[in-house]
Structure 1
Amino acid sequence: MTELICITCPKGCHLKVDEENDYAVTGNSCPRGAEYGRNELKNPKRVVTSTVRTNSAEHPRCPVKTNGAIPKGKMFDAMQLLNDVVLAAPVKVGDIVIKDLFGTGIDFVACKNIAE
């Protein structure tokens, strides 16, 4: 039995997940909590946030994030890919920085507008 705190909403339900009973979840107050508990043990995923370099003197770094969750085990590999990225201004929020990370269909996208 594994205990978790659900992070899908501000309530923070205390979940118990029974791996030996088909990942049965107790302690959740909504279906999203049950789904979170099962997924966290079977296939944990995370949204990744970071920054990348730009060619702008005024804004030398641009915040980026994945537009969805990627497998937790791929987080550090994803961060390594960002080391080689240098964005050329102008950059708009939502611009794709790296497309289709590891075949997941998830992209790194820009989170800040940079004019020049």
Structure 2
Amino acid sequence: MLREFTCIMCPQGCDISVELDGTTITSITGNKCAKGEAYVTQEIENPMRNIATSVLIDGGELPLASVRLSNVIPKDRIFDVMAEIRRVELPAPVHEGDVVIHDVLGLGADVIITKDVDVA
């Protein structure tokens, strides 16, 4: 089976073709650097993602504060992590760098505030 990717690891944006035999990579072509090969290998074997979203703030000058993960998580766990984040409501104030959820779902990533929200 042939799968096509556009590499996001450098500005070249190589169009990379990957030939698979089941789940085994048999060839990778089109990458102009080693980063492209590493990128598509990870995408096939263990795709990882980061999340940027927001949490509710009670009594803040803004109703929401932006958050992100401190590390990537497995792609197939995004909806589980988002469910945990949606349950969070924090009292104002919150500050950039505050940890909202430590080691969310045991995945080795913290949910952290990325923007200060002061009291209204």
| Fold shared by both chains (TM-score > 0.5) | yes
Q: 1:22-65 CA deviation, whole Å, 9 max, x = no partner?
A: 52422112221111100101111111111110113411101111
* Equivalent residue for 1:81, pick from 79, 84, 90: 84
- Counterparts of 1:24-103 in structure 2, within 5 Å, are 24-103=27-106
Letter of the structure 2 residue corresponding to residue 82 of structure 1: I
Report the counterpart of residue 11 of structure 1 in structure 2. Answer: 12
Distance 1:114 1:10 in 2: 34
Q: Which 4+ residue blocks in structure 1 deviate beyond 4 angstroms? A: none
Gaps of at least 5 residues in structure 1 are none
Q: 1:1-32 CA deviation, whole Å, 9 max, x = no partner?
A: 21100111232111112223952422112221
TM-score of the two chains, using structure 1 as the length reference: 0.89
* Higher Rg of the two aligned structures: 2
Structure 1 SS opposite 2:17: strand
* Greater share of residues in strand: 2
Distance 2:90 2:48 in 1: 26
Distance 2:88 2:38 in 1: 35
Give aligned pairs, total.
116
